[in-house]
Structure 1
């Protein structure tokens, strides 16, 4: 199979070389590496160009965007440009285990029912601490089941191995406000094609300047939460169309989950708009829909303690 790796890059001078080394040293080398720089203002362009020249990586391409696209669009358009049968999304600041490509390719070859394969990760922090997630390391292949809290993306995009067919289908449903990993996760989940290999094939760097960390902090205010609810509602409606047009077989469970989530999002929106404690108590009926349970308590905190 042809393997493509796609990186979204922006001001990555601090960690980019470690990530590139981990790609270059794979036991199964990628057939294509596409790096899309979204307007770096640091030394990233010089570092990457020198790296490619040093190692003679002719099948690695560094592309500098003419305008800043934002990381969501940069990732999606980059992956759509890939020519591999399997596409791996890659951040600029992580470290891949040397057999990541080899292990995931072998699994995908043997299991054609998988549209998106993810793996465990090993989070590592500036203080040296580490944590494995989202499941225990058992070296098992497991299908991820659809549940009411389907909005939770358990494994980030840096762990994803995506069939080209899923990426092509995603063109119909992607919107600028959708993160690439969230869209692909949910499309595959609702079509029973989402699987996880429970081994940590990547070291996921956790630091305060990552796009994930910055966006998580920005969500901790009332306006941002309202915007998130609006996006989630459009996502729910999109998934309903997807199920009815592009998912075959029995659809009762998928529609039941979406119906419950539609009620949860409407109730959560009502709580934020009215700030009525009674609406918050009613919201507790949908506890199982929250991506993380603590977010229910977080709603009360934002509305009655932080108040902004």
Structure 2
């Protein structure tokens, strides 16, 4: 029997939590356990969780309440360490899961360290807004491209517990937990992707990852903003600190990944451009989802700059 631990981190989520919990109960492959770690809710979330556990004595539900606020990322990074299953799936407090999510991911992970899926965006009235990954990604995501540009959020992930000892070194860091898990897994090997949307991902102004500008860029606007990001010192410093954090803790099985991490950990313009050239040299692995060679090479060269532009805004707290 597949043992999947579902990790839920809550904070004042009473308005939407019931729907998420109901969708977990509907899974065709029931979770081995639900590990719920609350970050000091004051809106009745904790009482809802206690009532849910009492109503479902046949399901292993382990509730934990932080004595002090950890924040979104540290809450998840500490909570995953409590998992007892062979696989770990992260769960937001305000989404809805497809009934076959756990079953499909447990089947599709194969020998990969991590599998992630597509998601359907929805609003507060449950109206579908479109796919998160509108353009299909390849079913196998090479390690180099995954490290250079993480592209999955926490609710999309299922990973092997073998990653936990590495992740334990980051428990107290103010770093984006989902991109960290994605990057650590990618350093171990290629990742698997399922294009079918397996979560209805709620987009509202209270959502931690809400960003109304995400889909508004034109064809060339992204490249222009990537160049402009080189002048954004805070973005570059966050990028540098993130990779410096990884440098001595990431078990890289590929020398190219170790090299690009070292370059980005230095963070100078010269080092950034060296990372761009490395990505260009291995463009098929850096950008596996683009068939046109000219476009692929262009995107590959810019990939480290895209990281600065996008993830440099928030990936680690300065």
TM value normalised by structure 2:
0.73
- 8 A contact 2:235–2:308 mirrored in 1: no
Q: CA 1:205–1:170 in 2, change beyond 3 Å: closer, same or farther?
A: same
Shift of 1:159: 0.8
CA distance in 2, matches of 1:159, 1:176: 22
- Residue 179 (1) aligns with residue 180 (2): no
CA distance in 1, matches of 2:132, 2:198: 11
Q: Which residue of 1 aligns with 2:76?
A: 75
- Aligned with 1:291: secondary structure? helix
Could you give the per-residue CA deviations for residues 19-42 of structure 1, whole angstroms, max 9, x where no partner exists?
Answer: 000101100000110111111010
Shift of 1:99: 0.4
CA distance in 2, matches of 1:241, 1:135: 36
Q: Which residue of 2 aligns with 1:60?
A: 61
Q: Which residue of 1 aligns with 2:132?
A: 133
Deviates more, 1:225-234 or 1:91-100: 225-234
Shift of 1:160: 0.5
- 8 A contact 1:287–1:293 mirrored in 2: no
Size of the aligned set, in residue pairs, is 267
- Aligned with 2:169: secondary structure? coil
Q: CA 1:263–1:11 in 2, change beyond 3 Å: closer, same or farther?
A: same
Shift of 1:210: 1.2
Q: Which residue of 1 aligns with 2:259?
A: 255
CA distance in 2, matches of 1:291, 1:208: 25
Could you give the per-residue CA deviations for residues 250-297 of structure 1, whole angstroms, max 9, x where no partner exists?
Answer: 4135514752673459889xxxxxxxxxxxxxxxxx7442337976xx
Q: Which residue of 2 aligns with 1:278?
A: none
- 8 A contact 1:93–1:205 mirrored in 2: yes
- Residue 236 (1) aligns with residue 243 (2): yes
- Residue 166 (1) aligns with residue 163 (2): yes
Could you give the per-residue CA deviations for residues 141-178 of structure 1, whole angstroms, max 9, x where no partner exists?
Answer: 3224523x945431100010011011222223455211
- Aligned with 2:103: secondary structure? helix
Matches within 5 A, 1:2-81: 2-81=3-82
Structure 1 gaps, min length 5 = 269-285, 300-308
Structure 2 gaps, min length 5 = 215-228, 274-300, 314-318
CA distance in 2, matches of 1:67, 1:13: 19
TM value normalised by structure 1:
0.75
Could you give the per-residue CA deviations for residues 238-261 of structure 1, whole angstroms, max 9, x where no partner exists?
Answer: 333345xx223x413551475267
- Aligned with 2:90: secondary structure? strand
- Residue 194 (1) aligns with residue 191 (2): yes
CA distance in 1, matches of 2:188, 2:134: 22
Shift of 1:16: 0.2
CA distance in 2, matches of 1:235, 1:294: 14
Shift of 1:191: 3.1
- 8 A contact 2:77–2:167 mirrored in 1: no
Deviates more, 1:16-25 or 1:99-108: 99-108
CA distance in 2, matches of 1:175, 1:232: 18
CA distance in 1, matches of 2:113, 2:57: 33
> Alpha carbon RMSD of aligned pairs, Å?
3.3
CA distance in 1, matches of 2:166, 2:261: 22
- 8 A contact 2:74–2:171 mirrored in 1: no
